[in-house]
Structure 1
Amino acid sequence: MIRRWKIPAIILFGFAVRFLYSIFSHDFWLDEALNYQIAQNNLQTIIRALSFDTWPPLYALFMHYWQKFGQGVLFLRLPSVLFGTLTLILVWHLAKNLFDKKTALLALILASVSPPLVYFSAENRGYALFVLLTVLVILAYLNLIKKGSLKNIVLFALTGALAAYTHYFAALLLISLPIASYLTNHFTIKLRTLLFSYLLILILVTPWLLYTLGNPKPQCLCASSGTGLIFTQFFMALGGAGIITLKRIFEGPTPIFIRVFLISSAIISNFFFAKSLTQLKNKNNTWLLALFFLPLFAIFTISFYQPLFSVRSFIFLATIFITVTAYALQQTSKTYLYLLIVLSILSLIATSQKPFFEYEPLKKMGTTLIALDAPSTQIIHAGLYTYLPATYYAPSLSQQVLKSDLPEPLINSLHLNTFLTSPTSRTYRTYVFVLAIDRYDHRQVQRILTDLYNAYGEPQKVNLNNIRILIFRPKNA
């Protein structure tokens, strides 16, 4: 028997982990700063800008109002902390409805320390809201199966539409729900009820689709089909892992214990997830597994023709991964259960050491630029990766950025101060050039640096791990 205090205690623990992680994890980086800047605009500009982006507008519209009450890093991340905590409650209900209370308790424990869920519950991004809404969609679908009432139809349609207005990958889940039911011969539902529900969703999302379809979008930093599948499985057990950051585990001076904890947790988590594949007699488990793999295989196939394998966008599958893993663990020895919980906590601790961001200290970069500021000084950033965080941490400085290839409405919403004047014009006495390794247009940067070297000679160099700050002063200064 599960004592009543255990559930709220675990949820409170999960909230504390997310809250502390949002404070001490990593600096306010590019994607967070981009969301912050877009949400600063009026509603019309936000909607227009995001019609040219890979994100729908719901999260930015919410943050537009939230930011009116505060703009500190913790305050901007707090909605994600709350969304992530509410997700824990929903994971408990999902596992309890599909399995039993013991499995639900185990799923809740795993979700409370899950590195990817914690990681995305500590960022000013829409992922935590997306995960929350996708679990709501699954629960609403299960209610619709039990009773096809008008209330349940409307609830499913609303949650489905809200999820679609948060992230485009919601379509993968919505399409997979009835297909998984059909393939597993489970959760039958009247065709009329199903069609009416999806017609409502289509009606709700069509205005946005008509508005955004045809608009150019930023290029996806996506993995290949094969690499994406492997990375996604590891991502289910690793926070902050993607096509760029997952490889950082093996780079540079990352401590060996961090590598061991992260990789061990990923392997063992996937081992127990794989054990759920041997439990196919349970139709609920089989249905969840189908719901997990269908979106992956869909993007796997599409990515042969169009790169769409965004590893982080599959964060909505993490709750399914955790639920079926909890079910598999429930069928095994308690020794393995304790081992996985311990490794999950160790992995969370290891992730808190910032193995993915320690080489790019963006806050320290901001304070360094403030210290370098002086009259007739111009700061030039090689790309948005340093420019947007720098304008957040040091908004009073005169900063410019080299031309970006983002769609124009998106650029306009960011209020970029684009660098256009050649340094050889000596408009400023001192130029400070900032770049992050492998995060800029090499040809454009090389041209500007050549002009600066010719005009000012060898610069003073400040190295902040992967961030380089070059200070060009007159030769006679």
Structure 2
Amino acid sequence: MAKKKEGRESGKKQDFTGECDLDGGFVSPIKTVRDLSLKNIQSLVTASRYFQSLIVLMVIGLFLRFYNLGFNSLWLDEASTYTISVKSFAGIWQVTASGEFNPPLFYWAEHVMLMLGNNEVILRFIPALLGVLTIPLFYLIGKEFLDRNAGIIAAAACTVSPFLIYYSQEARAYMMMLFFVALATIFFLRAMKSGSLIHWILFGVFSALAFWSHFYAFVMIAALVLYALIEWAPRIRTELANLRMLVAGIIVFVVLSLPLIIVTLQLFVLRTSSAPTYGIQGLGIILETFIQVAGMNDIAMYLLVALFIVGIIQAFRIGKNKGIFLVLITVLTFVISYILSFKMPMLPRYLIFLSIVFFLGIAVSYRVVYSLWNTRAVVYGFIILLFVISAPVLAGYYSGFSKEDWRGFSATLQQKTLPGDVVISVPGYISQPLDYYYSSTKAQTKEYGATTAADLDRVTTESGNHTIYYVVTGDISAADPAGDAVQWLKNNTTYVGSDATQLIYLFTRS
């Protein structure tokens, strides 16, 4: 009897499909919404290692994204978020239509949040919350793409990614875009399997929401549609019904995004009309994106990129279509970004949706190790590895400033200035983060903006004999690429000091 019992127990632990099963054969009683009951939920919580692991990851992700959420000052882009979000809903749309290079959805959401108060935590709350909610979406993507193990590893990568944590603590639309792109990807993968009209419609809806969050989401959406067309190309006649469903999803996207599409075309012409003065050009955008997505650490990049490549190879072994999915989205995104980098400013954060494909490829690579070492420890080992790789970067991230210290700088400036003094922001638009913390009314000073040497000459002359303070950041190189303003400052001012990060500089008239 003992031998039979031992055999049954070992049979429970072994997955005869050859795939690792952390649940030891447990089957979730919840298949649809109708199955939701206290008993079934309790069964899932107590018996499913995947569900338990996902809860733990979300708790950790919650802590990592909300810890010290208000520690860093708002920097230029975040201050711009505030400047736009305080406008009315119609005013926010007008700003977008007039040339703002970000869609209005995130600003609308921030407008609502500002009704609850006005501080760094309020402004960063939505990205932080969406950062946490994206963790289970990575799990579902991995599960749909391959299996639950790939899902939990991808979720772990999302949880501790310094790149995603950083943008979860920034009052910009990047995490909102990633959240909706992840939802669109889930329903895309489901639609490819089921051919269900509702799945294609939901793909269209969430794709539209992603596009309304950030223009660059269109690259991922286009890559997914192209993948579907490539997948069905050899059997287009037999897959005609599916093609119609895909077209239905595209129509939903176009209808929901039509006003924004018109504005986007106009803005694209405007933004590409002259060479970019900042950002990363050429192949540099590829390397820098890998560095940042992999955790802002060279060693981590080499290791994770190696796992990503192994994952792609393994994906081709599992099914050619899976390998094509990973390669197509990655290559297409980089090719488009490479070309556009010579036409408009290009930064790795615009490519944040690539973290889905990158972490998915890393997660798929577990199959290679599992084929050599048939134990559940492989899955847990991958999760631990991701935590260990991220730990040093996160320790540094939470131990000091990761953004310009406008709060501290403005407090110092408030102490230095006397009634009647003049403060000049160089370039002029950095007055946005400065004015969030510094009150010229309270200090009884006058504020001006200057970008070029001619601006500086004019404002300085108009200020007469008053004491002048020049607030300068590295943005001056992008705003005045000829360098005339920098030379003017060297010739006519004296250095006073900087903020704690040495990214904001204070000068006074010589």
Q: Over residues 407-440 of structure 1, what are the superposed CA-to-partner deviations in whole Å (9 max), with x where a residue is unaligned?
A: xxxxxxxxxxx98953234456221111124634
Q: CA deviation at 1:379?
A: 1.0
Contact 1:53/1:217 (8 A) holds in 2: no
Contact 2:197/2:245 (8 A) holds in 1: no
Contact 1:265/1:347 (8 A) holds in 2: no
Matched, 1:302 2:334: no
**After the TM superposition, which residues 94-109 of structure 1 pair with which residues of structure 2 at under 5 Å, given as runs?**
94-109=141-156
More divergent stretch after superposition (122-131 vs 67-76)? 67-76
Q: Over residues 138-191 of structure 1, what are the superposed CA-to-partner deviations in whole Å (9 max), with x where a residue is unaligned?
A: 112123234444433332221111111111122111111132234456996721
Contact 1:463/1:469 (8 A) holds in 2: yes
**Structure 1 CA distance, aligned partners of 2:362 and 2:209?**
28
**Structure 1 CA distance, aligned partners of 2:154 and 2:53?**
13
Aligned position for 2:60: 13
Residue identity matched to 1:365? F
**Structure 1 CA distance, aligned partners of 2:504 and 2:341?**
34
Aligned position for 2:310: 275
Contact 1:176/1:295 (8 A) holds in 2: yes
Aligned position for 1:319: 356
Residues 225 and 421 from structure 1, CA distance in 2 versus in 1: closer, same or farther, beyond 3 angstroms?
Answer: closer
Q: Over residues 366-394 of structure 1, what are the superposed CA-to-partner deviations in whole Å (9 max), with x where a residue is unaligned?
A: 11111123210121111257422111112
User: Which residue of 398, 404, 407 corresponds with 1:363?
Assistant: 407
Matched, 1:48 2:104: no
Question: Does the residue aligned with 2:266 lie in a helix, a strand or coil?
Answer: coil
**Structure 1 CA distance, aligned partners of 2:142 and 2:208?**
23
Contact 1:99/1:327 (8 A) holds in 2: yes
**After the TM superposition, which residues 72-83 of structure 1 pair with which residues of structure 2 at under 5 Å, given as runs?**
72-83=119-130
More divergent stretch after superposition (138-147 vs 441-450)? 441-450
Residues 15 and 438 from structure 1, CA distance in 2 versus in 1: closer, same or farther, beyond 3 angstroms?
Answer: same
**Structure 2 CA distance, aligned partners of 1:336 and 1:62?**
36
**Structure 2 CA distance, aligned partners of 1:163 and 1:460?**
45
Q: Over residues 219-246 of structure 1, what are the superposed CA-to-partner deviations in whole Å (9 max), with x where a residue is unaligned?
A: 573322211111112121135xxxxxxx
Matched, 1:135 2:135: no
**Structure 1 CA distance, aligned partners of 2:151 and 2:337?**
31
Aligned position for 2:85: 39
Residues 437 and 143 from structure 1, CA distance in 2 versus in 1: closer, same or farther, beyond 3 angstroms?
Answer: closer
Contact 1:116/1:318 (8 A) holds in 2: no
Residue identity matched to 1:207? P
Question: Does the residue aligned with 2:496 lie in a helix, a strand or coil?
Answer: strand
Contact 2:76/2:433 (8 A) holds in 1: yes
**Structure 2 CA distance, aligned partners of 1:341 and 1:32?**
29
Aligned position for 2:392: 346
Q: Which runs of 5+ in 1 are unaligned?
A: 240-261, 406-417
Aligned position for 2:257: 205
Identity %: 23
The count of aligned residue pairs is 430
Residues 403 and 203 from structure 1, CA distance in 2 versus in 1: closer, same or farther, beyond 3 angstroms?
Answer: farther
Matched, 1:173 2:217: no
Contact 1:288/1:324 (8 A) holds in 2: no
Question: Does the residue aligned with 2:424 lie in a helix, a strand or coil?
Answer: strand
Matched, 1:266 2:318: no
Q: Which runs of 5+ in 2 are unaligned?
A: 1-22, 24-47
**Structure 1 CA distance, aligned partners of 2:67 and 2:102?**
27
More divergent stretch after superposition (418-427 vs 389-398)? 418-427
Higher CA-based Rg: 2
Aligned position for 2:114: 67
Residues 217 and 269 from structure 1, CA distance in 2 versus in 1: closer, same or farther, beyond 3 angstroms?
Answer: same
Matched, 1:29 2:75: yes
Contact 1:329/1:337 (8 A) holds in 2: no
More divergent stretch after superposition (314-323 vs 186-195)? 186-195
Q: CA deviation at 1:6?
A: 2.4
Contact 1:83/1:121 (8 A) holds in 2: yes
**Structure 2 CA distance, aligned partners of 1:467 and 1:306?**
29
**After the TM superposition, which residues 348-427 of structure 1 pair with which residues of structure 2 at under 5 Å, given as runs?**
348-353=394-399, 357=403, 360-384=404-428, 386-397=430-441, 398=445, 400-403=447-450, 422-427=459-464
Question: Does the residue aligned with 2:468 lie in a helix, a strand or coil?
Answer: strand
Q: CA deviation at 1:331?
A: 2.8
Aligned position for 2:242: 190
Residues 119 and 301 from structure 1, CA distance in 2 versus in 1: closer, same or farther, beyond 3 angstroms?
Answer: closer
Aligned position for 1:292: 329
Residues 422 and 403 from structure 1, CA distance in 2 versus in 1: closer, same or farther, beyond 3 angstroms?
Answer: closer
User: Which residue of 211, 214, 233 corresponds with 2:290?
Assistant: 233
TM-score normalized with structure 1 length: 0.81
**Structure 1 CA distance, aligned partners of 2:457 and 2:93?**
28
CA RMSD of aligned residues (A): 2.9
Contact 1:391/1:399 (8 A) holds in 2: no
Contact 1:154/1:197 (8 A) holds in 2: yes
Residue identity matched to 1:73? E
Contact 2:456/2:485 (8 A) holds in 1: no
**Structure 2 CA distance, aligned partners of 1:50 and 1:16?**
34
Q: CA deviation at 1:313?
A: 0.5
Residues 434 and 231 from structure 1, CA distance in 2 versus in 1: closer, same or farther, beyond 3 angstroms?
Answer: same
Q: Over residues 312-363 of structure 1, what are the superposed CA-to-partner deviations in whole Å (9 max), with x where a residue is unaligned?
A: 1100111221122012134326467644431122222233345854xx4322
Residues 344 and 445 from structure 1, CA distance in 2 versus in 1: closer, same or farther, beyond 3 angstroms?
Answer: closer
**Structure 2 CA distance, aligned partners of 1:22 and 1:208?**
31
TM-score normalized with structure 2 length: 0.76
User: Which residue of 443, 457, 460 corresponds with 2:484?
Assistant: 443
**Structure 2 CA distance, aligned partners of 1:273 and 1:338?**
17
Question: Does the residue aligned with 2:352 lie in a helix, a strand or coil?
Answer: helix
Contact 1:115/1:347 (8 A) holds in 2: yes
